[in-house]
Amino acid sequence: MQIAIGCDHAGLGLKEDIVELVKSLDIEVIDCGTNSTESVDYPDFGKKVSELVSSGKIEKGILICGTGIGMSMVSNKFPGVRAALCNDLFTAQMSRRHNDANILVIGGRIVGKDLAVEIVKTWLSTPFEGNRHLIRINKIKAIEEDLNRHGHC
C-alpha cells in the first residue's frame, strides 16, 4: 500500500512523526510536502494529496495543518474524497467503520505525537463495515454527480 501525506508549516512536526510511523509499518509514503517551517498556504498541499486520492492513483492520504479544519475543507472539494478530521481515537475508528474515510486529517496544534500515532494506527487498521453505510456513501456519490452535472441536486 502507498499513502500520500501532506501538511502546512503548522503540521510539519507531526507529519515527520507520522511519516516515520507509516514507514515502520512497511507502507510506502508519498511525501507531498511541505518540508520546511516557512509559512505556506494549506490549500496548496491539501490539493496535492487530494488529487492523488481523487484520481485513484493512491488509495489513502493523511493531511495535517494547525487545526485540521482548513485541510478538511480543501480535501472534501475533491470528487470521491471522504476526508475526516480526527483529533481523537473514537472519531478515527468511526470514520473508517461508517464513513469509509479515505483521507485522515489531524490538527498538528491540537494532537500530540503519542495520540497521533494511535490515531493513525487505528485509522489504517480499521475496515469499512459496508452494508447500510455503503448505501449512505453511494448517496454522497450521487450528490457529487448531480452537482457536477446540473449544479444542484
The grid cell for 13 is 512536526
List of residues 6+ apart from 131 with CB closer than 8 A: none
* Residue 1: all three cell numbers together: 500500500
Residue count, binding to ligand RB5 (CB under 6 A)? 8
Residue 42 near ligand RB5 by CB under 6 A = yes
Residues within window 3-32 making contact with ligand RB5, judged by CB under 6 A: 8, 10
**How many residues are there in the chain?**
153
Q: Residue 116, interface with ligand RB5 (CB under 6 A)?
A: no
Strand order in the sheet with 2-7: 28-31, 2-7, 60-65, 103-107, 83-85
User: Which listed residue (14, 62, 63, 65) binds ligand RB5 by CB under 6 A?
Assistant: 65
Interacting residue with ligand RB5 among 19, 29, 69, 94 (CB under 6 A): 69
* Piece of the chain touching ligand RB5 by CB under 6 A; list 16-24, 67-75, 84-92, 95-103: 67-75
Q: Name the nearest CA neighbour of 65 among 119, 115, 32, 108.
A: 108
The catalytic site residues sit at 65, 98
Binding residues (CB under 6 A) for ligand RB5: these are 8, 10, 42, 65-67, 69-70
